[in-house]
Amino acid sequence: MKNQALIAALLLLCASMLRAQKDTVVMTNNDLMVGEIKSLNNGVLIMKTTYSDEDFKVKWDKVKEVYSLNRFLITLDDGLRTNGNVRTLRNDTLLIGRIYEADTVYTTVESLVYLKGLEKKFWDRIDINLDLGANYSKANQLRQFSLKSKILYLADKWDLELYYNANTSVQDSAAATKRYDGGLGYNYYLQNDWFASYDLTFLTNTEQAVKLRTNGKVGLGKFIIHTNHAYWGAGAGLAFNNEQFTNETQTRNSLEAFLGTEINLFDVGDLNLLTSLYVYPSLTENRRIRSDFKFELKYDLPNDFYVKTGITLNYDNRPAISGNETDYVFYTTFGWEF
């Protein structure tokens, strides 16, 4: 009976120790941070501690060692994606104990480019961004409003994104211009930094007389560069395009190819630079080509707020209104991410 009681006590003690297990991060200056690692993305580690009301954000290149028994979604700079825990060995090697595979992976802290704590709760896997912007000019009663919003759900091997953007401009003695776009995007992540994607997007644009453009596309992409300083991805595939117009232009249905690339530079102090270009040559409409370009600068503020400015440029060599081949939007917004 005494042995059974001793074993039971030891089991309870071990369970208590596991529940109290904290993540530990050692900085290059040998400072220690103890708490909960929430994520590593874009070269920034976010850590929650019991001694601060706000999460700590530190540059990943200032981290020397990391220890955790918790489960993470992990990505390395060679494209490996896996689930597991991480701990630094005595020779500065980072050991990844994989959850679903029997083997382990040996790498370095520098090669770790993405960490996300895989919580069981639904809301712990969601990221939300909301941007608002407004302008007013007394001279011609110009009133401009912009909204950008995004919700991202992250699973073990895929993510799902919903977004909606709105830009309106109203002034005296001129017709109002309105542009609304939204969509759903799904990415399934493969090994070696490959990914499969499906997107369904919607657009209304008074400048180009587009009542509703519905575009569904499926493709395959790869991250060419994926580090703690930048990423560069490219992809290609097919898209089906349905367009309805506000003027006499007939409804169009077409099959398009698409080629796209996106570059994100995030190791520039508090600045984040994002640019992308997608080109859509039509396979069923003779010599028609469309393109979407975006350039955006984001400046991080305290408490998860930020300021963002940029331009979106859309081109169509066969628009519904002659001469309106190009439409562009300049915007400056104030945002918050949750």
| Measured distance CA(337)–CA(151) in Å, rounded | 10
Q: 322 or 25: which carries more pLDDT confidence?
A: 25
* pLDDT over 90, % of the chain: 54
At 93 the three-state DSSP class reads coil
- pLDDT of 1 reads 47
Quick one: average pLDDT of 76-87?
Answer: 90
Polymer length in residues for the chain: 338
Quick: pLDDT tens for 102-131.
Answer: 789 999 999 999 998 876 667 778 889 999
Average pLDDT, the chain: 87
Quick one: average pLDDT of 132-140?
Answer: 76
Q: 224 or 248: which carries more pLDDT confidence?
A: 224
CATH superfamily to which 124-337 belongs = Autotransporter beta-domain (2.40.128.130)
Residue 336, number of CB atoms within 10 A of its CB: 14
Q: What is the 3-state secondary structure (H, E, C) of 245-286?
A: ECCCCCCEEEEEEEEEEEEEEEEECCEEEEEEEEEEEECCCC
pLDDT band at 141 (very low <50, low <70, confident <90, very high): confident
pLDDT over 70 (residue 4): no
Q: Which of 122, 112, 128 is nearest to 72 (CA)?
A: 112
* 195 within 8 A of 188, measured Cβ to Cβ: yes
Quick: pLDDT tens for 288-299.
Answer: 999 999 999 999
- pLDDT of 83 reads 87
* 243 within 8 A of 252, measured Cβ to Cβ: yes
Quick one: average pLDDT of 52-61?
Answer: 84
The residue with tokens 């644009």 is: 205
For the chain, residues classed under CATH 2.40.128.130 are: 124-337
- pLDDT of 6 reads 46
In a 10 Å sphere around its CB, with 0-12 CB exposed, 13-18 middle and 19+ buried, how is residue 215 labelled? buried
